[in-house]
Structure 1
Amino acid sequence: MKPLIVAATRFEIEDSIPLLEEKQIPYLITGIGMTATAYALGKTLATTPATSAVLNVGIAGSFDKNISLGEVVSIRSDTFYELGAEDGDNFLSIADLGFGKYTYEANQVIWDFNLPTFEAITVNKVHGNFHSIQKVLDQIPTIKIESMEGAAVFYVCALENIPCVQIRSISNYVERRNKSAWKIDLAISNLNKWLQKFIEENY
C-alpha cells in the first residue's frame, strides 16, 4: 500500500524525488497555502480513487523553543486558526458559530512513527508579531506548530475517509520575522533524511 506524498513546494522534497520515482511512489506538489492545497489534493483524489493513504510532509514554524530547529515531528491535530468571526476582542471559531469543525486529526494512522507528536494550526498569514503570537497561545495554549497547509490536507482526507498523517521539520521559531535565525536548509535536509528512511524501510 503506497501512500501519496503531499508537499506544498518541490524544494521541500527535492532530494527524495529520485527515490520516490524509483519506488514508484506517487507525489503531489500542491502550491503554498490551504486553498491551493485543498484544490490540488481534492482534484488528485478525485482522479486517482485508488489512493490508499496520504503522507503530508513539509517544513513549519514552532511556537515552542524547546523543540529544536531541524527536529522532525508528527502532527496529531491541526486547526484552521483564522476560520471564524471576531466579536470585539474575542474570536469565535466556526465551531463556536455552529457551522462545523475547525480542528482535524491525523486519520486512521497506519504507520508507527517514533516521533514527538504535537498540535498545530494552519494559517493564511504566518505570525510575526508579539501580540498576535501571544493571542494564539492564549486562545489555544496547547498549540506548538504552525504551517500554511496541514489542516487542509487533514480536512480533505477526513472527508474522503483516507488515512492521513502529517510530518513536519522545524525551520524557524514563530517570532518577529528574523530570517537570519532560520534553519531552512537543516529542516529540509532532516525532513528528506527521515522521508527516505521511511520509504526504504517500508517500500
Structure 2
Amino acid sequence: MKILIVAATEFEIAESIPFLQEYQVDYLITGVGMTATAFALGQRLAKESYDLLVNVGIAGTLDPSRSLGDLVRVTKDQIYQFGAEDKGNFVSIETLGFGHSSFHAVLPETQLPPVYTQLDAVEGISVNKVHGSEQSISELNQTLSPQTIESMEGAAFFYCATQANVPAIQVRSISNFVEPRNTKNWNIPYALSKLNHWFREFILQHRS
C-alpha cells in the first residue's frame, strides 16, 4: 500500500523524516491553513496516486478530561461557520444550498492496524482563526460536543481526499486546551513526540 503522510509544517514531522526516507514513505508539507492544504494536496494528487492519505498534526481540544499528548483519530471534520449571517443567526452553507462544510475519514478496504483503530474517535473543526477568547469559546461549548478538537487543516484534507476518491485518515496529538490564549499552558514538544512515535509505529504495523 502506497501511503502519503500529510502535515502542515515540516516542524511537526521533522524527527521522523529520516525514518520516512529509510522506509520510502512519501510525505507532503502543505503549509498552514485550509487554502494551503487544499492547493498543495490537490497538486500532489494530480501527479501521484496513493492508496492511503494520513494527515498528522497537533490540535487543541475542548475536552477538559483530556491530557496533553493524547492521540485521537478524527472521523469527521468541518469548516467551522462556513455560511452566512442573517440578523445575528448563522446560516450554514448546506442550508444556503451552495455546498458542504463537513467531510469524513474514508477507510481503505484493507484493515488498518490496531495503533489506529484503538485511538479514541472524535470530531474536529477547522478554523481560520484559532479560538482564544472567553466569548468565542463559550459559543463553541454551546454548539459542539466537548470531545471536539480544533485544527486549521483537517476539513480541507478530507475534502481533497473525497474529491480525489482516495482513502484518508487524520490523527492529531493534543497540544493545548481551547481556552483564553495562554501559550504557557501548551506542550507542543511533548505532543509532537507522541505524534511522531505514533505514525512511525503505524507504518511499521502496516508493513508487517
After TM superposition, the score normalised by the length of structure 2 is 0.93
Aligned-residue offset at 1:2: 2.2
What is the number of residues matched between the two proteins?
202
User: Distance in 2 between the 1:188 and 1:108 partners?
Assistant: 24
Alignment correspondent of 2:56:
57
Contact 1:172-1:182 at 8 Å conserved across structures: yes
Contact 2:62-2:146 at 8 Å conserved across structures: no
Alignment correspondent of 1:78:
77
Taking the TM superposition and a 5 Å limit, the aligned residue runs for 1:137-148 are: 137-141=141-145, 144-148=148-152
Alignment correspondent of 1:117:
121
Give 3-state SS (helix, strand or coil) of 1:15's partner.
helix
Specify which of 154, 175, 181 is matched with residue 179 of structure 2: 175
User: Distance in 2 between the 1:188 and 1:81 partners?
Assistant: 25
Aligned-residue offset at 1:74: 0.3
User: Distance in 1 between the 2:201 and 2:66 partners?
Assistant: 22
Aligned-residue offset at 1:139: 2.5
Alignment correspondent of 2:13:
13
User: Distance in 2 between the 1:115 and 1:145 partners?
Assistant: 14
Aligned-residue offset at 1:131: 1.1
Aligned-residue offset at 1:53: 1.3
Q: Extract unaligned runs of 5+ from structure 1.
A: none
**Residue type of the alignment partner of 2:45:** L
Taking the TM superposition and a 5 Å limit, the aligned residue runs for 1:1-203 are: 1-48=1-48, 50-109=49-108, 110=110, 111-112=112-113, 113=116, 114-141=118-145, 144-203=148-207
* 1:58-110 per-position Cα deviation (integer Å, ceiling 9, x unaligned): 00000111111110110010000031111122211101211121110101345
RMSD, aligned CA: 1.2
User: Distance in 2 between the 1:51 and 1:12 partners?
Assistant: 22
Contact 1:121-1:143 at 8 Å conserved across structures: no
**Residue type of the alignment partner of 2:201:** K
After TM superposition, the score normalised by the length of structure 1 is 0.96
When residues 143 and 85 of structure 1 are mapped into structure 2, their CA distance, relative to the original with a 3 A threshold, is: farther
* 1:23-51 per-position Cα deviation (integer Å, ceiling 9, x unaligned): 11100000000000000000000011x22
Stretch moving more, 98-107 or 54-63? 98-107
Give 3-state SS (helix, strand or coil) of 2:97's partner.
coil
Aligned-residue offset at 1:143: 5.4
User: Distance in 2 between the 1:139 and 1:98 partners?
Assistant: 22
User: Distance in 1 between the 2:37 and 2:43 partners?
Assistant: 10
User: Distance in 1 between the 2:161 and 2:129 partners?
Assistant: 23
When residues 143 and 122 of structure 1 are mapped into structure 2, their CA distance, relative to the original with a 3 A threshold, is: farther
**Residue type of the alignment partner of 1:89:** G
